Amino acid sequence: MNILFIADPLASFKIYKDTTFAMMREAQKRGYQIFACELHHLVWQSGQAVNAQVQQVHLTGKQDVWFEMQGAHADRALHSFDAVVMRKDPPFDSEYFYATHLLEQAEREGAKVFNKPSALRNHPEKLAILEFAQFISPTLVTRDTQAVRAFHAVHRDIILKPLDGMGGMGIFRVKDDALNLGAIIETLNRDGAETVMVQKFLPAIAQGDKRVLVIGGKVVPFSLARIPQGGEVRGNLAAGGKGVAQAISVRDQEIADAIGPVLAQRGLLLIGLDVIGDSLTEINVTSPTCFQEIFDQTGCDVAALFMDALESAAA
Q: What percent of the chain has pLDDT over 90?
A: 89
CB 132 within 8 A of CB 204: no
CB 255 within 8 A of CB 237: no
In this structure, the chain runs to a length of 315
- Confidence band (pLDDT; 50, 70, 90) for 239? low
Q: What is the pLDDT of residues 179-211, one digit of tens each?
A: 999 999 999 999 889 999 999 999 999 999 999
pTM of the entire predicted model: 0.94
Torsion sign over Cα 85, 68, 41, 97: positive
Helices 181-189 and 145-155: crossing angle, nearest 10°?
Answer: 140
Cα of 191 vs its chain's centroid, Å: 29
User: Which residues are the active-site residues?
Assistant: 126, 161, 211, 226, 234, 274, 282, 284
- Supply the DSSP symbol for 109: T
**What is the rounded radius of gyration, in angstroms, for the C-alpha atoms of the chain?**
20
- Confidence band (pLDDT; 50, 70, 90) for 136? very high
- Confidence band (pLDDT; 50, 70, 90) for 229? confident
- The mean pLDDT value of the chain amounts to 95
Give me the pLDDT at residue 297, please: 98
Domains and CATH numbers, the chain: 2-122 (3.40.50.20), 138-201 (3.30.1490.20), 204-314 (3.30.470.20)
Cα of 311 vs its chain's centroid, Å: 21
**Residue 258: how many CB atoms within 10 A of its CB?**
13
* Residues in CB range of 255: below 8 A, 6 or more apart: 132, 135, 212, 273, 275, 280
Residue 235 has pLDDT above 90, yes or no: no
- Confidence band (pLDDT; 50, 70, 90) for 57? very high
CB 81 within 8 A of CB 95: no
Mean pLDDT of 132-144: 97
Q: What strands lie across the sheet with 172-174, from one edge to the other? A: 139-142, 196-200, 158-162, 172-174
Distance CA 155, CA 138 (A): 9
**Which is higher by pLDDT, 165 or 193?**
193
